[in-house]
Amino acid sequence: MLACAERRATLQPAASSIKVQELGKPVQDFVLENVEGGTQSLTSFLESKKGAVVVFWSGICSHCVRYDSYFNEFARNHPELGFVAVASRHGEGIAEIQKARKERKLSFPILHDPGGVIAKEWMTQQTPRVFLVDDKRNLLYRGAIDNYKYAGDPEQALYLEPAIAEFLAGKPITRGETASFGCAIQSVYYTLPRQL
């Protein structure tokens, strides 16, 4: 038990070590455990790529479920970009993530961020939240994938795909940030000693 507490303590960033992200500036690299085994860094997903998309994700978030197909097809649709999901939801363990992966036939890489340490460093409070970075880890876009409307809905507005298209075309990204929404990574309900 003490070893787990010590490990969690070493994973927590010091308040002064958290850097404010700025569009056009490098985001912090990370190394996390892959739910399929081993560890991987953000840098490893950028090897031989023009950039990458990082999505903060949860296997139990209904908002994330909606994007299963999009995430599964991402590598095929964007071979020039890396893609990784970071599972940061408080209390969500590797076994739960692996179960969701198997039941929903998820094929994209998922890294586990116990305690949401990387989510905090990346100033992320909910899932899904996406980040588009170039091959030098410069932040190009952060926010929502879309406005949570389904394809065919006349009010649907895509956010991530236009940013990707502009980036790959060598154009400035018109909209570098949008508000994101979804399931809380950590909520007061996860930390209460008893149910209300």
Cβ 182 vs Cβ 63: under 8 Å? yes
pLDDT at 119 over 90: yes
pLDDT, tens digit, for every residue of 152-188?
A: 899 999 999 999 999 999 999 999 999 988 999 986 5
Q: What amino acid occupies position 37?
A: G
Task: Tell which residue, 161, 139, 187, has the closest CA to residue 67.
Answer: 161
Cβ 145 vs Cβ 151: under 8 Å? no
Q: Which domains does the chain have, with CATH numbers?
A: 24-191 (3.40.30.10)
User: 144: which DSSP letter?
Assistant: -
Section 120-138 average pLDDT = 96
Task: Tell which residue, 97, 89, 78, 81, has the closest CA to residue 34.
Answer: 97
Q: Output the pTM of the full model.
A: 0.85
Alpha-carbon distance of 162 to 117, in angstroms, equals 29
Which residues, listed in sequence order, are joined to residue 146 by a DSSP beta bridge?
158
Range of weakest confidence among 1-10, 72-81, 95-104: 1-10
